[in-house]
Structures are given as C-alpha cells and as structure tokens.
C-alpha cells in the first residue's frame, strides 16, 4: 500500500518527510472499512500513531480541493496525557497539514493560559491539549466544541491511569453527537472498553500489536546485578553502548535526583525529567538532548511520556517497571519509525523471578546477560575510536600546518598515542563489578570487608524471621548484652529461625565474657541465647538472607522493617511472625 490515494497536500508532506509507505497502523486506519467510522486502535508506542490519526480524520476536515475551510471554532480535537506528548503531536500535525493551511492551537498545563485563549479566539482548525487544561478552557468559555467533527484520545489507557476520567467525560459530553471518535491505546483494559462503549457508535476495532507484543525493532536485554551495584551497572551500560541518546527510567523523583547527580559527578552529559521540574526546565532539558549538548536523560515514567527523540537508541530500566504495560511504554521510546533500539532491564538477583514472569506476560524474549565488564568496555572503546579516526576527513591548511609542527617535535606513534589518551581521558571510567556467577559472588563476599573486620568470629542467636527479628532491636540488644558498640558489629544474617552476626576476633573474648555475665538478667531479652558459631550455612537459601548495612557492599538482601506489634528494642516476642510475600512464578 502507498500514499497515492491521499489528498495531494498530505501526500506531498509525507514524501518530503521521507515516508515511502504507510506503517501497519497507518495502513489500518486508511483501509476502506475504516473510512468515516469510529475507531478503537491498539498500536504500540512509536508505530506512527500520530500520523495515523492525522490521516484518519483528513476526510472529515479537508474540502474537495484538499484545503481546510475557514473556521472560527475547532474542527478536530486531540487529547493527550502529558505536555510532552501533546507538544509532539502538535509538531507532527503542523508539518502534515502545513500545505492545507492548518491553524493548530496547543493547550497544555504549565504554559501561558491567556496566550492559549487568544489562539483559540483567533480560530484554530485543530486543537491539541492535555485533559486538565482543555477542561479549564472549556469551563471558561474559551473552547467551543460545537462544530467539532473528530476527536482523538491518544494513549487513552495512560490518561485513565493518571486519573483524567472526569476531565475526559466532561470534554466528550460537550462535543456534537455526530462527531467521529478515534481512540488510540497501546493496551485495552476494561476501563478503556467501557469508555469506548459509552462515547462511540459502532466502532471498528483495529489492532496492529500482533501476537508478539514486544516491539519488533527493540532488542531486549536483562542484566542481573547485586542490589548494591545497580548504579555501577548503569555506568557500565552507558559506557558500553555509548548511545547517541539514552533514557534511564526511575520510579520516583528522589531516585531521579540521586541518579542524575551521580552521573553528572562521573562526567556524563545528563539531564533530568520528573514531576518536580517546571515546564521551562523540561523544555530546556529536551532541547539539550535534541541539540546533543546532553546524551543521557534520567526520568520518571510520567515525565518521559510522549518524548520523541530521533536519536534515542538505548532505554535502561534502572528500576523494574510495575507491570508489562509500563515496560512496553518505557521501551517504546526507542525503536521508533523503523529504527533499531535496545531496552535493558537492570534486575537485582532476588527480583529475577518477578521479571521473568513479567516478560512472559508481555510475550517478550529478553537475553539474560551480566553487566559489561571494564575489559569489554575498553574493547568497545578501541573499536569505536579506530572507526572514528579512520573515517574520511577533509583537512584545511591550518590543520596540516599544525600536524607538521607536531611531527617535528614527536614521532607519529607518540602523536597517535597522545590522541588516544586524550580521547580516553574525556570518558567516564567504568566500574568493577562482581562477576555474574554464584561462586564469584561468594568469593567477593568473603574478600570484601569493612576496615577492622578482616578477621572475625561468628556468633549465633536462636531467633530469626519467624520471631520477627529485626536489626533495629538486634543491634541494641548485642550492645547491651555484650558491652560493645554498634561499630563493633559486622555483618548480620537473618534466617528463618536463627540469626548470625560477626564481631572482630580481637574483642571476641571480651564479648563472650560479657554475654556470660548478662545471660541471667531479667527482661524480654533473657530468653535469647547467643553463642559462638561457624557462620551461616552457604546454601542456595543464603542468597535470600539480609545483611546489616555494615556488611560488604553488594551482598545480601536489604532489611525491611518488622511488622510485629512490638516497638523497636522491645525484643523478638513483641508481635506475630512475619508473613513473607511470594514472588510470582
């Protein structure tokens, strides 16, 4: 299928932008059976949806000559969940309808509302906006939808997830009954189906998702790491791929802020996007990515919604997505318009089962690998540097004069080595990570110690998770019973019915003597037996045990607060045993 059946003004615009043939979703909405009908379209992010609905409502807007008639009130309305997506849609429709003489008004939160009202009053053929701002203009009388011929809900599933149901219903209730309603959504949960049933008439369901829900142009990778080495893995992944543009997804604003600061300190050209940033800050960040002043963006899910960067080839899920739909939306920022992209999930060892279940649910085949090592990164650096230096380049006379002077002072080998060294000095250094094998992780656990804990003695307590053991009261208990300080307690391993901990060998005798003196003291702690041990058993279950924060970095599972009724320090008998939540299989 080609674009030959379209009005000339649209066909010429598509040819100018390099479109040779429609994508799957564009072909679907242009099919004869879809002409003039309400549509419910399931299509992946990055599949050409914006151009698709721009083409779909062309027959409702253009006259016989392929032009847009004079209009004081909007003929088409596009509703998007976020400012970035609305602005992106507005830009796409602007070039698509430029030859038709379209006037497009954009109404989004964070922008000058009075200026938007003036644009609406001056007449606009197409209005693009976010639900909250559109509702505000509607209630103030600045937005007249009485002559509307088509309305588009872009990424409708996300708008409902973000709590825009009431806004959408008020806007749709203000539109004419005979308008066309085009609903685009990557997923079709029950609320979307209910919305379609209420506001559409005899809607045609189109789906271009297919059986393979994973985006065909995206290579998925799952990188397993120790929980404490996630940030180091991010550094190595960025250095290994050296993507022209990369986006890192975090779950919260605080995590975005922390990761952004760490990468900035390490020498990466990085920007941040989260709900705490103003519209002006967001615009500056996106512009920095577009003009190559920045190459890495750290963002939350909502802030990154609708971002369309042509050079984006790498997506890193620093924190595991909450569900398969979020995974697809995040990953869909790359692999757009036929270009190839890579989506990497960073998976802490204890979370692997959950991620495997998510990938199965999304029908995505991911390659499970370890984080890139410094040696692998250096190999990639050498190949990239050779490719860059051996590319054909035109030199001017000043370049050649400087080269001649250098050759008088140094040998060609020295000059080449200096060039390589200069190139490497400008690049952030990779991190040393634990090898991705159980044996290597155990060896690293034994070798990496806090200062003063190179030689330790293990002790055992006859309480564990079943007795609601928690380091918040274990540490004070050990200090009182053994007459030591918190800094003299090493790693703590909490198992189901016992707890093991370390003390330096130099004070082990003093600690044991104090235990003997305090064993008979009254109180809730009197029943807790503490005795020397050989340490926790090294079995497969040991990797599920938590370590006290003083333990070697990267080992063990972080502690979670106890759920018993007793207060910290009240002892292990203060509440019911903790119930462990099972991971999905």
The β-bridge partners of 222 are: 345, 368
Helical ranges in 432-525 per DSSP H: 438-447, 471-482, 505-518
* Residue 500 φ/ψ, nearest 5 degrees: -115, 145
pLDDT digits (tens, 9 = 90+) for 526-561: 578 899 988 776 433 333 333 443 333 333 333 333
Same fold, 8-207 and 218-376: yes
CA 187 → CA 47, 159, 354, 412, distances in Å? Answer: 14, 12, 21, 59
The angle, 0 to 180 degrees and rounded to 10, between the axes of the packed helices 165-173 and 131-139 is 40
pLDDT computed for residue 496 by the predictor = 77
Q: Which CATH superfamily is domain 218-376 in?
A: P-loop containing nucleotide triphosphate hydrolases (3.40.50.300)
How many residues are listed for the chain in this entry?
585
Looking at the chain, the number of H-run helices and the number of E-run strands are 21, 19
User: Domain limits of the chain?
Assistant: 8-207, 218-376, 449-574
pLDDT computed for residue 565 by the predictor = 35
The DSSP output letter for 282 is: H
Q: Tokens 């991911």 correspond to what residue?
A: 366
Nearest Cα to Cα of residue 235 among 343, 121, 336, 316: 316
Helix H or strand E encompassing 344 = strand 341-348
Structure tokens at 249: 């997804």
Q: For the CA atoms of the chain, what is the radius of gyration?
A: 30
Cα 327 from chain centroid (whole Å): 8
Which pTM does this prediction carry?
A: 0.56
pLDDT computed for residue 576 by the predictor = 37
Structure tokens at 534: 């050989």
**Would you say the C-alpha torsion 505, 508, 510, 511 has a positive or negative sign?**
positive
449-470 residues labelled b (16+ CB within 10 A) or e (exposed):
bbeebeebbbbbbebbbebbbb
The angle, 0 to 180 degrees and rounded to 10, between the axes of the packed helices 412-425 and 374-389 is 120
Pair 36, 180: CB distance under 8 Å = yes
pLDDT computed for residue 584 by the predictor = 40
pLDDT computed for residue 158 by the predictor = 78
The angle, 0 to 180 degrees and rounded to 10, between the axes of the packed helices 324-331 and 352-361 is 80
CA–CA gap between residue 424 and residue 60 (Å, rounded)? 57
The β-bridge partners of 299 are: 249, 273
pLDDT digits (tens, 9 = 90+) for 408-445: 888 888 888 888 888 777 788 888 876 665 555 555 45
CA–CA gap between residue 4 and residue 9 (Å, rounded)? 11
Q: So what CATH class is 449-574? A: alpha beta
Structure tokens at 231: 């940030």
| Averaged pLDDT in 10-residue chunks for the chain of 585 residues | 76 86 87 90 77 91 84 93 87 92 90 91 93 94 94 86 86 93 82 87 81 64 89 94 92 91 91 84 87 91 71 92 83 74 90 90 89 91 84 81 87 85 80 66 52 83 82 85 88 85 91 85 66 69 38 33 36 40 38
The domain at 8-207 falls in which architecture? Answer: 3-Layer(aba) Sandwich (3.40)
- Residue 343, SS3 per DSSP: strand
CA–CA gap between residue 2 and residue 428 (Å, rounded)? 47
* Residue 224 φ/ψ, nearest 5 degrees: -90, 135
Structure tokens at 310: 């042509």
Nearest Cα to Cα of residue 431 among 377, 380, 382: 377
Structure tokens at 471: 């380091």
CA–CA gap between residue 129 and residue 117 (Å, rounded)? 12
Strands 456-461 and 499-504: antiparallel
What is the strand order of the sheet 341-348 is part of? 270-273, 296-300, 245-250, 312-317, 341-348, 218-225, 366-370
CA 365 → CA 216, 359, 521, distances in Å? Answer: 11, 7, 59
CA–CA gap between residue 520 and residue 518 (Å, rounded)? 6
pLDDT digits (tens, 9 = 90+) for 227-258: 888 999 999 999 999 999 999 999 888 899 99
Question: Strands, E, within 155-210: which ranges?
Answer: 180-185, 204-207
Helical ranges in 448-502 per DSSP H: 471-482
pLDDT computed for residue 540 by the predictor = 32
Nearest Cα to Cα of residue 355 among 45, 585, 44, 544: 585
pLDDT computed for residue 114 by the predictor = 93
């Amino acid at each position: 299928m080609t674009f030959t059946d379209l009005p000339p003004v649209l066909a010429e615009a598509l040819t100018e932008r390099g479109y040779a043939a429609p994508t799957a979703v564009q072909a679907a909405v242009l099919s004869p059976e879809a002409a003039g009908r309400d549509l419910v379209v399931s299509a992946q992010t990055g599949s050409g949806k914006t151009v698709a609905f721009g083409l779909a409502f062309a027959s409702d807007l253009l006259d016989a000559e392929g032009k847009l008639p004079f209009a004081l009130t909007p003929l088409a309305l596009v509703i998007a969940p976020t400012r970035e997506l609305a602005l992106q849609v507005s830009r796409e429709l602007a070039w698509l309808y430029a030859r038709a003489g379209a006037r497009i008004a954009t109404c989004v939160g964070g922008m000058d509302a009075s200026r938007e009202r003036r644009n609406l009053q001056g007449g606009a053929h197409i209005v693009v906006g976010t639900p909250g701002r559109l509702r505000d203009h509607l209630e103030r009388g600045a937005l007249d939808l009485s002559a509307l011929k088509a309305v588009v809900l872009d990424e409708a599933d996300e708008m409902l997830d973000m709590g825009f149901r009431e806004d959408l219903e008020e806007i749709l209730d203000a539109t004419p009954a005979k308008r066309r309603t085009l609903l685009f959504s990557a997923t079709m949960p029950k609320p979307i189906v209910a919305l379609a049933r209420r506001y559409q008439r005899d809607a045609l369901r189109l789906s271009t998702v297919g059986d393979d829900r994973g985006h065909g142009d995206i290579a998925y990778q799952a990188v397993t790491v120790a929980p404490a080495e996630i940030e180091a893995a991010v550094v190595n992944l960025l250095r290994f791929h050296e993507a022209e543009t990369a986006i890192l997804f975090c779950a919260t604003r605080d995590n975005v802020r922390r990761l952004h600061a760490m990468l900035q300190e390490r020498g990466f050209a990085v920007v941040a996007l989260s709900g705490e940033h103003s519209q002006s800050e967001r615009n500056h960040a996106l512009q920095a990515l577009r003009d190559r002043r920045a190459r890495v963006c750290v963002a939350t899910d909502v802030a990154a919604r609708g971002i369309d960067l042509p050079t984006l080839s790498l997506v890193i899920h620093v924190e595991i997505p909450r569900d398969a739909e979020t995974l697809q939306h995040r990953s869909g920022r790359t692999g757009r318009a036929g270009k190839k992209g890579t989506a990497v999930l960073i998976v802490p060892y204890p979370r692997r089962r959950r991620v495997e279940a998510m990938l199965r649910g999304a029908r995505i085949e991911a390659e499970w690998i370890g984080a890139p090592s410094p040696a692998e990164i250096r190999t990639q650096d050498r190949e990239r540097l050779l490719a860059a230096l051996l590319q054909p380049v035109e030199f001017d006379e000043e370049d050649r004069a400087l080269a001649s002077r250098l050759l008088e002072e140094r040998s060609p080998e020295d000059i080449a080595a200096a060039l390589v060294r200069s190139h490497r000095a400008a690049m952030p250094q990779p991190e040393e990570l634990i090898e991705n094998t159980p044996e290597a992780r155990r060896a690293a656990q034994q070798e990496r110690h806090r200062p003063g804990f190179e030689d330790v003695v293990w002790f055992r307590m006859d309480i564990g998770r079943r007795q609601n053991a928690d380091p918040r009261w274990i540490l004070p208990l050990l200090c009182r019973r053994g007459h030591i300080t918190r800094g003299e307690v090493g790693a703590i391993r909490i198992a189901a019915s016992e707890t093991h901990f370390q003390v330096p060998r130099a004070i082990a005798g003093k600690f044991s003597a104090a235990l003997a003196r305090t064993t008979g003291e009254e109180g809730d702690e009197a029943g807790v037996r503490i005795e020397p041990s050989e340490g926790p058993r090294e079995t497969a279950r040991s990797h599920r045990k938590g370590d006290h924060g003083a333990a070697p970095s990267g080992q063990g599972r972080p502690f979670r607060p106890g759920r018993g009724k007793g207060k910290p320090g009240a002892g292990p008998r203060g509440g019911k045993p903790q119930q462990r939540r099972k991971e999905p299989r």
